[in-house]
């Protein structure tokens, strides 16, 4: 059910008055297709992520948080709008030729507009996917002051692209012409994100870092990270696209060492997170910065990706494009020195659409829009008054259409909807791996959740599910 939120500052106001120089900065880092088990602080045993582990020790490591859904664009739209995917204006990865995806509409109230209305400078560095160049959804029309990266998700499959976007200006990377390995996109994007912190260290800022890593294709620069990992794993070489019209146009290149390369890509994420934290400290703004690290959905099996080898989804069933827990349960770490408790683990459940009202409460800002999220600021600051939610709802447009609804410990799945559909029921408390379908044993619970699922979404002609 959508709720209309009017936030009055209470817990945060007692901590820091919101004078311009004291407004808290926010750095929001989203990895692309990083599984729940891909970090050593979440159980990864085949390689280590020490910087992210240290971040977890300085904040809260959440064990039951959900993305917006199980693929990029709708998951990010949920994050931006405070709406679950039964209400988001983008509910699938719908491509618009020749470059980009279905756009957010003009006037959409997003995280960026929330922060800009509060006097913040806003930046986004990485993968966008919420509106093709020139559309109403491109970053500079959705409240982003500075953008650098990929507009299009398909082109973000490739790490040595022909060009990237600087706001609405195309930056051609001639050093990558002819299949050359000149500029690694994520390294260049990272340098721009660090420069943003330098440039705006005296301003309150919202920095969104939607990394491309570790999405396929599997490729990294020839550096000490990959050199230290080659030969460590038994490999299954991947034969991809190394020429022709799809080469560096969405197709995945061949990779002789896919497992080592995946590990190297995650370790590069870890290095980049460490660099961002170090830059915040260097510029003197670390103590006044809320930092969030998470992923947009579960692990992929594309371009040679092998999540089973790395146990990338932990104990959870499913991958990217599934609505089982492995497709939507994501690692989440939140730190904020002297505000968020350090070294804490929490099983408090929340989802992408809860961030917008959380930031609104932090900023003492009223939101008159109807949204689905609830503020989790009381949980972050260990204050009373945490509002409970009725349920979580997710949908996925592809593969016949899928829905999921979670209420308490119970989870109902509706699968292969356009092919007649079937339901599955799980109790996540007793069966977190979703191995035992209880739909026949609990007909009343199934009927109850079916009714909630039916009412959870609104019809949208752009996103028909049935």
Same domain, 316 and 231: yes
Mean pLDDT of 174-192: 98
Contact 188, 136 (CB under 8 A): no
Residue with tokens 């109230």: 109
CATH of the domain at 257: 3.40.720.10
pLDDT band at residue 367 under the 50/70/90 scheme? confident
- The whole-number pLDDT of residue 2 equals 59
Evaluate if residue 294 carries a pLDDT over 90. Answer: yes
pLDDT band at residue 128 under the 50/70/90 scheme? very high
Residue-wise pLDDT for 8-31, tens only, equals: 333 344 444 444 448 999 999 999
Same domain, 19 and 148: yes
Residue-wise pLDDT for 243-289, tens only, equals: 999 999 999 999 999 999 999 999 999 999 999 999 999 999 999 99
Same domain, 318 and 428: no
Contacts of 113 (CB under 8 A, 6+ apart): 142, 143
Mean pLDDT of 49-67: 98
CATH of the domain at 404: 3.30.1120.10
Same domain, 348 and 447: no
d(CA 113, CA 120): 9
Same domain, 403 and 384: no
d(CA 358, CA 370): 15
pTM of the model: 0.95
Same domain, 452 and 380: no
Task: Encode burial over 430-450: b for 16+ CB neighbours within 10 A, e otherwise.
Answer: eebbbeeebbeeeeebbeebb
Contacts of 189 (CB under 8 A, 6+ apart): 125, 126, 148, 149, 164, 211, 212
- How much of the chain exceeds pLDDT 90, in percent? 94
Same domain, 354 and 419: no
Domain final residue pick, 332, 365, 390: 390
Residue-wise pLDDT for 405-425, tens only, equals: 999 999 999 999 999 999 999
Contact 264, 174 (CB under 8 A): no
Same domain, 264 and 129: yes
Same domain, 15 and 101: yes
Contacts of 273 (CB under 8 A, 6+ apart): 29, 51, 52, 55, 293
| Count of the separate structural domains present in the chain | 2
Which of the pair, 217 or 12, is modelled with greater confidence? 217
- How much of the chain exceeds pLDDT 70, in percent? 95
Mean pLDDT of 331-353: 98
- The whole-number pLDDT of residue 21 equals 45
Partner residues linked to 164 by β-bridges? 171
pLDDT band at residue 366 under the 50/70/90 scheme? confident
Mean pLDDT score across all residues of the chain? 95
Same domain, 413 and 368: no
Alpha-carbon distances of 320 from 67, 93, 144, rounded to whole Å: 11, 13, 28
- The whole-number pLDDT of residue 22 equals 82
Evaluate if residue 329 carries a pLDDT over 50. Answer: yes
- The whole-number pLDDT of residue 17 equals 43
d(CA 105, CA 103): 6
Same domain, 177 and 244: yes
Same domain, 183 and 276: yes
The candidate with the shortest Cα–Cα distance to 3, out of 264, 353, 260, is 353
Domain final residue pick, 336, 357, 390: 390
- The whole-number pLDDT of residue 273 equals 98
98 is in which domain, residue-wise?
3-390
Domain final residue pick, 342, 362, 390: 390
């Amino acid at each position: 059910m959508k709720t209309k939120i009017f936030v009055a500052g209470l817990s945060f106001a007692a901590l820091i008055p919101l004078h311009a120089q004291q407004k808290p900065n926010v750095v929001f880092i989203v990895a692309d297709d990083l599984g729940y088990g891909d970090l050593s602080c979440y159980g990864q045993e085949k390689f280590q992520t020490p910087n992210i582990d240290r971040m977890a020790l300085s904040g809260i490591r959440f064990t039951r948080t959900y993305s917006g859904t199980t693929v990029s664009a709708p998951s990010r739209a949920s994050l931006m709008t405070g709406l679950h995917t039964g209400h988001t204006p983008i509910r699938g990865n719908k491509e618009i030729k020749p470059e980009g995806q279905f756009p957010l509409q003009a006037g959409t109230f997003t995280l960026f507009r929330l922060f800009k209305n509060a006097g913040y400078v806003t930046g986004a560095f990485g993968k966008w996917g919420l509106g093709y160049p020139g559309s109403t959804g491109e970053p500079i029309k959705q409240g982003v002051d500075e953008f650098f990266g990929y507009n299009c998700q398909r082109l973000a499959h490739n790490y040595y692209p022909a060009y990237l976007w600087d706001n609405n200006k195309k930056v051609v990377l001639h050093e990558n012409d002819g299949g050359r390995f000149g500029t690694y996109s994520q390294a260049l994007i990272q340098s721009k994100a660090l420069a943003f912190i330098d440039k705006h260290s005296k301003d309150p800022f919202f920095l969104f870092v939607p990394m491309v890593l570790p999405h396929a294709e599997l490729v990294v620069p020839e550096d000490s990270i990959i050199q230290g990992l080659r030969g460590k794993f038994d490999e299954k070489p991947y034969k991809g696209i190394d020429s022709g019209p799809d080469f560096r146009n969405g197709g995945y290149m061949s990779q002789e060492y896919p497992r080592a390369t995946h590990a190297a890509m995650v370790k590069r994420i870890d290095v980049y997170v460490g660099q961002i934290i170090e830059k915040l400290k260097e510029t003197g703004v670390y103590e006044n910065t809320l930092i969030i690290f998470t992923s947009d959905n579960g692990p992929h099996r594309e371009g040679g990706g092998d999540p089973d080898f790395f146990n990338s989804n932990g104990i959870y069933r499913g991958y990217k494009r599934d609505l089982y827990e492995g497709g939507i349960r994501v690692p989440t770490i939140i730190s904020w020195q002297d505000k968020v408790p350090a070294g804490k683990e929490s099983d408090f459940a929340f989802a992408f659409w809860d961030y917008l009202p959380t930031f609104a409460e932090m900023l003492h800002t009223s939101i008159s829009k109807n949204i689905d999220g609830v503020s989790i600021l009381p949980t972050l600051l260990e204050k009373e008054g945490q509002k409970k939610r009725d349920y979580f709802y997710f949908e996925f447009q592809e593969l016949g259409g899928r829905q999921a609804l979670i209420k308490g410990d119970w989870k109902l799945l509706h699968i292969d909807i356009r092919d007649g559909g079937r339901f599955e029921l799980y109790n996540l408390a007793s069966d977190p791996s979703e191995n035992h379908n209880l739909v026949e044993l609990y007909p009343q619970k199934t009927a109850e959740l079916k009714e909630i699922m039916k009412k959870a979404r609104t019809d949208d002609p752009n996103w028909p599910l049935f």
